Structure 1
Amino acid sequence: MAKMASSMRGLKMAAADGSFAVSETGGQALLVAIREMAKWVDDNLADLGTLAQQPALGTSHGAEAMKPYVQEVATDNEGFLTMLQQFRASLVDAEEGVLGAMDNYQSSELTIKGNFSA
């Protein structure tokens, strides 16, 4: 997940420094996908939060041994919920990067258009 977050920050930085541009059509398609992923995470994070609780596995020795492990798998530094929250945060950078890249494309188009209209 760290690589994905780094990639999204890189996308945002590339758009900020002008080295990445995307057309309105391409940008809108990317924004739809990013926003749908963000909505899915937002809509499901509360329900998935039950994974952070110890499951009701019973009182057998095996169940008692598994309860904390199952909870830890969901919530530790590399756990599913932790990764999902980091993924959600990376989508903010991705959206900002695409918006910046769309602005870059518009600026480039205006510059090119100006060269031909003179």
Structure 2
Amino acid sequence: MYIDEGKHAALGKIGESMTQFAGAAAAGQFAVNEAGGQALIAAIDKLLDWLDMNQFKLRNLEQEPPLGSSNAAKVIKPYMASVATDHEGFLTQLRALGESLKQARQGIETAMRNYERTDSAEASKLT
């Protein structure tokens, strides 16, 4: 998720990291055993399920809240909606998190296959 680190904060670091993670797994640079991989996948799936189940509730944040008709309310209403939806917004970051989690899941699945291949190859040397 986005943490406001000022004007010069690097956005999309999580997404970049997950892309590199999945790429490293695809290149065979690391491996994860079945138990460890399944634990990570279960945690990712739980968070993805939460994101899916709450996407419609959270869409309320895209709308201007009914704050009244005072001048202050007229100024704040559109601002509150944009905080949720602009390029650094809460909902925008949640969607990016979902995509990053999907990439991480793919990377873990690949790393599990890497482990199985490596384990089989090493086991065949022993016989």
TM range, smaller chain: over 0.9
What letter matches 1:77 in structure 2? H
Pairwise CA distance, 1:67: 0.3
Q: Match for residue 16 of structure 1?
A: 26
Pairwise CA distance, 1:39: 0.5
Pairwise CA distance, 1:43: 0.7
Name the structure with the higher helix share: 1
After superposition, where does 1:90-105 map in structure 2 within 5 Å? Answer: 90-105=100-115
Q: Match for residue 80 of structure 2?
A: 70
Q: Match for residue 52 of structure 1?
A: 62
Size of the aligned set, in residue pairs, is 117
- Gap regions ≥5 residues in structure 1: none
* Aligned-partner Cα distance in 2 for 1:116–1:103: 20
Secondary structure (helix, strand or coil) at the match of 1:40 reads helix
RMSD value over aligned CA atoms?
0.7
Runs of 4+ in 1 over 2 A off after TM superposition: none
Identity %: 44
Alignment TM-score, normalising by the size of structure 1: 0.97
